Amino acid sequence: MEFSAAVPKPSGLSSTEILIKVRAASINPVDKALMEGGLARLKPCKGAFHVASYDASGIVEEADQAGTYQKGDAVVVRLFGPGLSVEPKVQYFRGSMAEYCVADVSNVVRKPANLSFEEAASIPLAGMTAVQVIDLCKETKDPKIFISGGAGGVGSIAIQYAKSKGFHVTTTASPGEKTELCTSLGADVVIDYKSNKFESMDELKDQFDLCFDCTGESGKMIELVKSGGRIVTINAHESGITFECLADILERNGKSAGCLMKCFVKSKLKFTQYQEASKKGADWDFIFLHPSKDDLQRLMDLTVDGKMKAVIDQVWDSKDWKAAYTRQFSGRSKGKCVVRWSSDE
């Protein structure tokens, strides 16, 4: 996959859209699925340009008609919505890994002054996923959460958001730098998954109000969840494609995420994980990431309050974009990989 100079600068914005000059964009697992053709059945790629990635920060180049944002404003966005047309016969994905991107104001918030553009761009998708999963947990005294993969893009933010909500946090990581990272983010217990099988640890059994699966191990969490608790996964089983990714692709094609949700709500009853959790009086579920300006704003506010920080593995210049994707997809990165598109004010 190559970046193409043939895609013109976007024009013809709707009344609620803004044009953003991208300063930085970050990479997520959905980008791998798209690049490898794993979404071909949901979104045929014939005859269309595809601008990868969903997260961006940058400077408003063209304001919306209502003036919600003005030219020169520094903003952050998680892109949602259908693709764009630059001329009648040329359409492409609404992606952020480019010099410019177009966003509806409903998905945009102002970038806090305390965050660099690179830091801001690393947060939206992973952060919103963490927020929407953790907010599913019922309010309870001294809540406990188990998060698999605490050093990853979603896990690193989930640790911090859970701590801001008063959770006791247990997570998994490899020994060394990743364990140290999780501890620095506030994790109370970090389990070396290379040396321990968490599902076999007696001290973890029946302990958690919420088990957050970021690594495709929700079936192992049956042993950990309390009666009345909940296991939530963001990984599709067998296909390896995240559920929020599937929902977004459907939305881009004019079908609601609710359509996909209804299908999976019916099918989840057949999952062994759901059946085994039910025997314990617990729930097993998956989430569909949905647009929420409020969630994105809450994440930005937490950084201002000092309760959350961006976790970045490395920042690459746009000419080295391949190295950024290779690193993110390797499974060895800590937090997010970010590509810098411009540094001019």
- For 137-186, the pLDDT digits (tens) are 988 899 999 999 999 999 999 999 999 999 999 999 999 999 999 999 99
Listing DSSP states for 146-199 in one string gives EES-TTSHHHHHHHHHHHHTT-EEEEEE-TTHHHHHHHHTT-SEEEETTT--GG
Backbone angles phi, psi at 250, to 5 degrees: -60, -40
Q: What is the pLDDT of residue 344?
A: 61
Answer whether residue 15 shows pLDDT above 70.
Answer: yes
Answer whether residue 295 shows pLDDT above 70.
Answer: yes
CATH class of 125-286: alpha beta
User: What does the pLDDT look like over 109-130, one tens digit per residue?
Assistant: 999 999 999 999 999 999 999 9
CATH architecture label of 17-123+310-340: Alpha-Beta Complex (3.90)
Q: What is the pLDDT of residue 259?
A: 58
Q: What is the pLDDT of residue 240?
A: 38
Q: What is the pLDDT of residue 243?
A: 46
| Contact criterion met (CB below 8 Å) for 78 and 296 | yes
From CA 213, how far away is CA 208, in angstroms rounded? 13
Name, in order, each residue with C-beta under 8 angstroms of 305's C-beta and a sequence gap of 6 or more: none
| Interior/surface letters 134-159, b for 16+ CB within 10 angstroms, e for the rest | beebeeeeebbbbbbbbbbbbbbbbb
Backbone angles phi, psi at 242, to 5 degrees: -65, 145
Q: Torsion angle, CA of 299/204/233/165, rounded to 10 degrees?
A: -20
User: What does the pLDDT look like over 27-72, one tens digit per residue?
Assistant: 998 787 777 765 554 554 444 557 888 999 999 999 999 999 999 9
User: What does the pLDDT look like over 195-217, one tens digit per residue?
Assistant: 999 999 999 999 999 999 999 89
Name, in order, each residue with C-beta under 8 angstroms of 325's C-beta and a sequence gap of 6 or more: 27, 31, 32, 35, 337
From CA 11, how far away is CA 78, in angstroms rounded? 20
From CA 215, how far away is CA 4, in angstroms rounded? 33
The residue type of 325 is: Y
Q: What is the pLDDT of residue 244?
A: 47
Classified as helix, coil or strand, 303 is helix
Q: What is the DSSP letter of 334?
A: S
Residue among 85, 91, 12 nearest 47 (CA)? 91
Q: What is the pLDDT of residue 285?
A: 87
Q: What is the pLDDT of residue 93?
A: 61
From CA 101, how far away is CA 98, in angstroms rounded? 7
Of all residues in the chain, the percent with pLDDT exceeding 70 is: 79
Higher pLDDT, 249 or 66: 66
| Contact criterion met (CB below 8 Å) for 170 and 188 | yes
Region of poorest pLDDT, from 78-82, 325-329, 339-343? 78-82
Domain ranges of the chain: 17-123+310-340, 125-286
**Please, what is the average pLDDT of the chain?**
86
User: What does the pLDDT look like over 180-199, one tens digit per residue?
Assistant: 999 999 999 999 999 999 99
The residue type of 240 is: G
Name, in order, each residue with C-beta under 8 angstroms of 2's C-beta and a sequence gap of 6 or more: none
